Amino acid sequence: MTNIGVYICHCGTNIAGVVDVEGLTQKVAKLKDVSLAKDYKYMCSEPGQDLIREDIKNRNLDRVVVAACSPRMHENTYKKVLASAGLNPFLLEIANIREQASWVHLDKEKTTDKALDLIKMAVAKVRMDEPLTSLSANVIQRVLVIGAGIAGIQTSLDIANIGFDVVLVEKEQSIGGRMSQLGKTFPTLDCSACILTPKMVEVSLNPRIKLFTYSEVEEISGFIGNFKAKIRKKSRGLDESLCTGCGLCQEKCPTKVPSEYDEKMGKRKAIYTLFPQAVPNIPVIDRASCLYITKGKCGVCKKVCPAGAIDYERTDEFIEEEIGAVVVATGFDPFDPVSKEEYGFGIYRNVITGLQLERLLHAAGPTKGEVVRPSDGAIPKRIAFVQCVGSRDEHANKYCSRVCCMYAIKNALLIKEHHPESEIFIYYIDIRAFGKGYEEFYKRAQENGIKFMRGRVAEIFEEQKSRNPVIRADDTLLGMVTENELDMVVLSVGMIPRSDSSKIQKMLGLAASPDGFFMEAHAKLRPVDTLVDGVFLAGTAQGPKDIPDTVAQAKGAASGALEVISHKTLQLSPLISEVDERLCRGCGDCKDVCEYGAIEIVTLDTHKVARINPAICKGCGACAVACCNGSIKLRNYTDSITFAMLDATLGGAV
Amino acid sequence: MKQIIKRTKAYYCVECGKCSGSCPVARVNEGFSPRVIVERALSGMKGEIEGDRELWTCLTCEACTTKCPSTVKFSEFIRGMRSSAFNSGYTSRCSQGGLLHSIQRVQSYRDIVQNRLQWISDDLKTSTEGEVLYFTGCLPYFENLFSGFVNPLEIARSTVKILNKAGISPVVSPNERCCGHDLLWTGNVETFQKLARLNIEMIKESGASRIVTSCPECLRTLKLDYADFFEGTDIEIVHISEFISSLIKNNDIKLNRAGIMTYQDPCRLGRHMGIYDAPREVIKSMGELVEMNKNREESSCCGVSAWATCEGNSKLMQIERLIEAKSTGADMLVTSCPKCLIHFRCAVHNQIPVEKEKVDIPVVDLTVAACRALAGE
């Protein structure tokens, strides 16, 4: 004998405004196996919860239906009520009569009928539901952080300082990321290196952080709590344990090539470190430009190295690490303005990008902080910034990159402070100064005589003799098209997803937003989670953001990862698919449709069968549908339950 | 106007001014600004736009449309507003005192008899029915009006000669009408539709499954603007430059060297239809191609479109373009639009404000040049 209790919520007037709750309760009370039906103003309130709890105890209810809002809201609340009353929490069903009835219809009578149908189905289902017990799995209490820019650094430090181990993998030869390339930061104008390097040193000294630089994650397998990562530690062409970082090799190396780190504004050697405070301070031999490696000649670095560390033949190493959670902090690439042909970047030498200007303004950059024209090394007196290059543009990227307004204003101010006589223009569409202290910073620029020109630059051409770039733009406030001859033009390029982000995306099974950045699980309420359990996002890998937002998100990602790995075991939902191995013929159709990679085909003595990893299975049921001989069942969503639900509403069998 | 705004997505405009900065007309006419026209439309100033003479100044060359970061279809917006203005009684200032538009309107009467085929000399093979139809366009009329400085019918003869060379004896119909391009782009939609219906009737009667045009405006009109009428049939429409380049690719014809050439992308062929490579391939097979600074998508317009608003500013644009062409060092400026040809030749035919040597470069139609270069002729 089944004793089902049905509880119908008014949700204030959200439900009761359209559904005749009292009439509905009376009808429900008469359904088969329903021993009581009650309505209440707010079922999720404490008195509402008590009502259910008391009835389970006093009226011996063995199954419960709550007709209220979406199960996404309060299913967990009621599950806990059942558990606290000693009832298996999986003997609960929610009939969503708010989102699926009262919120979407106006006709009171028909909506009440629909609510009744929804409750009938829930009753039919709960009658057949099996009591289930949560599964548990062991958790490897370490976190993998991919990318050691400011986001990855902050996440790693937070996790390590709380007392858990971190594996931090950085593709470049030093940690620091894009932030290390910047000269100063807005709106406070503190030098980027001054605030970043202490954190970099902290990483290198923290015994809980295992740092892999010049390394890449090649493969990740497993599931939440139990991931395995294969890391390629690329050869630096030397023995890291011997290198003392004295720098003699760099000094003596005869080969000079354009420096990628300096955005081609300066040169580097074939054996080089990125910058003086690099962590670790160990150089890398660039195999494409090293004379010894390409031509078999030279060998100077090997000769001068006092530690005998140079080893041209050194090969890549592979390391496997086990971790319980992953934080993706892979950062961004700057937009390449070559595709905006009308701006002549790459053709006109005095047209540069914002990041190139950062390198010029950097005290340790190629010009030691002096801004000079690339064509003749002269100090430019008339400079213009072109905003929204590649951003807010249907032909490039639709989104706003969020940092360009402020970095242009910052660099304009820095130049103006160095050379007060210079004339600086910022061509903008809208100035977006949304952060703390940003609007005030914008004002400071206006006070200092930076000229703000409202209009998107239509084209740039070059005066041949002087190599001065000329901007042609509609001054939309004056309503006239103007031409402005300058000494130098800076293109404020936006952020785009890293060119190699699809590799990480595939490896982890992440989703990407329409803008190409990694997608969070929920735009508002789960901004650092992904749809893959145990994988979190930090920084610009998720979308353009400034340093404060990046650091805040990095701390959020650390807390997300800690939530996973701070427990030794993990509770897993038992609402998953299971295979009846007596029926399975191992055809693999289920494996093909599983989006989560939860199914494996294993070979037994005589035949093959499908096995489902309960830790990966999300209970979506795709495999159960695909299985041609019905050997896979999704727990509590079996065919017979579904038919019973259909009968309840269509066949009048109840 | 609300519908035009919706159809052309003008509501996406953020007033950035990229259009006005890129506009070739705004370069020479300070009073003209695509951005301001859109801004007025968004503020609901219908009457002011309709009554503004600048509405007819736009070349609908698509220089702004291809650049607009918000993908506002400005040319289409102008076309819509012109039709609305036309219905309110405003008209464009047709450059030939209204004569050309009159000729085009007259063709919309069913019962007129045109003397359209006199140019077909004995050495040319044409048919009355067949698979391929050559849509001559307005060339016979242009011949009568502009023969003082250009021979438009040489384009028609060259086209047929090249088609003959490929073994095709094209249908050329005395009942062909103006495609309606100019009337459509100056707001007279009703007459455009009449012309379209008559042409479709004529094409269907000819039994043609493929149409060749030597005019990019005819190409655009037949291919895009007739699309509603053509629905259900699969008539292929190609520009002669595409046709010649495929002949060359298949080794069906061979062209002799004809010197160094630079190329003017007609707006309709280039930005409207995206055909940039075919004419260049033809040029490269008969000579050396030197590009002007502004080429392909960045190309400058010849200064007049749809015979609306030919004025001093048009001439400035033409002269500037000719100077650019001359400075490439090419022997000739090749174009593939009869109107570009007429406009450039017209510009130097009359008095000009610069020294003759600066603009002194022969302007030749692509088909004519190719026909002259045919090997074994």
Q: What is the residue-wise DSSP string for A182-237?
A: -SB-TTT--BHHHHHHHHHHHHHH-TTEEEE-SEEEEEEEEETTEEEEEEEE---S
Question: Which of B20, B39, B66, B276 has the most A C-beta neighbours within 10 Å, making it the best mutation to test the interface with A?
Answer: B20
Minimal Cα–Cα distance from A442 to chain B, Å? 20
Say which CATH architecture domain A573-635 belongs to: 2-Layer Sandwich (3.30)
Contact A327, A144 (CB under 8 A): yes
- Option in B17, B70, B298 nearest A474 (CB): B17
Same topology, domains A4-132 and A573-635? Answer is no
Condensed to tens digits (0 to 9), the pLDDT of residues B72-127 reads: 999 999 999 999 999 999 988 877 788 999 999 999 999 999 999 999 999 999 99
**Which chain B residue shows the shortest CA-CA distance from A341?**
B298
pLDDT confidence of residue B234: 78
- Cα(B301)–Cα(B65) distance, integer angstroms: 14
Partners of A481 on chain B (C-beta within 8 Å) are 17, 20-21, 23, 26-27, 30, 33
A395–B69 CB contact, under 8 Å: yes
Name the burial class of residue A603, with classes exposed (0-12), middle (13-18) and buried (19+) by CB atoms within 10 angstroms of its CB. exposed
Minimal Cα–Cα distance from A568 to chain B, Å? 53
* Sign for the pseudo-dihedral over CA of A104, A109, A114, A116: positive
Backbone angles phi, psi at A202, to 5 degrees: -60, -40
E strand or H helix that includes residue A490:
strand A488-493
Q: Which residue has the tokens 């699980």?
A: A521
Contact A115, A67 (CB under 8 A): yes
Contact A18, A102 (CB under 8 A): yes
* Sign for the pseudo-dihedral over CA of B368, B369, B371, B377: positive
pTM (two decimals)? 0.85
What percentage of residues in chain A have a pLDDT greater than 90? 94
- Cα(B66)–Cα(B85) distance, integer angstroms: 25
Partners of B68 on chain A (C-beta within 8 Å) are 394
List, by residue range, all CATH 1.10.1060.10 domains of chain B: 2-87
**Which chain A residue shows the shortest CA-CA distance from B299?**
A342
A481–B27 CB contact, under 8 Å: yes
Partners of A459 on chain B (C-beta within 8 Å) are 21-22
Instruction: Count contacts between A and B (CB, < 8 Å).
Output: 69
pLDDT confidence of residue B232: 59
Q: In terms of CATH, what superfamily is A334-496? A: FAD/NAD(P)-binding domain (3.50.50.60)
pLDDT confidence of residue A1: 66
- Cα–Cα nearest to A356, from A488, A256, A534, A509: A488
- DSSP H helices, A519-638, are 547-565, 589-593, 622-626
pLDDT confidence of residue A653: 46
Q: Where are the domains of chain A?
A: 4-132, 136-234+316-331+500-571, 236-315, 334-496, 573-635
Query: Over chain A, what is the mean pLDDT?
Result: 95
pLDDT confidence of residue A596: 84
Would you call A331 helix, strand, or coil by DSSP?
A: coil
A458–B69 CB contact, under 8 Å: no
- Cα(A214)–Cα(A298) distance, integer angstroms: 24
Residue at A151: amino acid letter: A
Partners of A429 on chain B (C-beta within 8 Å) are 14-16
Q: Which CATH number describes the domain made up of A4-132?
A: 3.40.50
List, by residue range, all CATH 3.40.50.1860 domains of chain B: 99-245
Query: Over chain B, what is the mean pLDDT?
Result: 93
Minimal Cα–Cα distance from B276 to chain A, Å? 17
Q: How far is CA A342 from CA A169, A484, A486, B299, in A?
A: 39, 15, 16, 12
Q: Which CATH number describes the domain made up of B2-87?
A: 1.10.1060.10
A474–B71 CB contact, under 8 Å: no
- The domain defined by B252-372 folds into Rossmann fold (3.40.50)
Q: How far is CA A608 from CA A292, A587, A605, A625, in A?
A: 55, 8, 8, 20
- Option in B30, B35, B70 nearest A394 (CB): B70
Q: Which residue has the tokens 């998100």?
A: A553
Would you call B5 helix, strand, or coil by DSSP?
A: helix
Q: Is it the case that residue B230 has pLDDT exceeding 70?
A: no
Buried b (16+ CB within 10 A) or exposed e, B258-291: beebbbbbbbbbbbbbebbebbbbbbebbbebbe
- Looking at chain A, the number of H-run helices and the number of E-run strands are 17, 32
- Cα(B113)–Cα(A351) distance, integer angstroms: 61
Contact A383, A490 (CB under 8 A): yes
> What does the pLDDT average to over B147-166?
95
- Cα(B340)–Cα(B325) distance, integer angstroms: 13
Percent helix, strand, coil in chain B, to 5, is: 50, 10, 40
**A-contacting residues of B 15-54, CB under 8 Å?**
15-23, 26-27, 30, 33, 35-36
B14–A429 CB contact, under 8 Å: yes
pLDDT beneath 50, residues of chain A:
653-654
pLDDT confidence of residue A33: 95
- Cα(B123)–Cα(B144) distance, integer angstroms: 22
Would you call A309 helix, strand, or coil by DSSP?
A: coil
Q: How far is CA B111 from CA A451, A492, B114, B174, B194, in A?
A: 66, 63, 10, 12, 13
Backbone angles phi, psi at A271, to 5 degrees: -115, 125
- Range A136-234+316-331+500-571 has CATH code 3.30.1050.10: no
- Cα(B342)–Cα(B331) distance, integer angstroms: 19
Say which CATH architecture domain B99-245 belongs to: 3-Layer(aba) Sandwich (3.40)
pLDDT confidence of residue A652: 56
- Joined together, the tokens standing for residue B44 give 């609901």
Condensed to tens digits (0 to 9), the pLDDT of residues A493-548 reads: 999 999 999 999 999 999 999 999 999 999 899 999 998 999 999 999 999 999 99
- Option in B18, B27, B33 nearest A456 (CB): B18
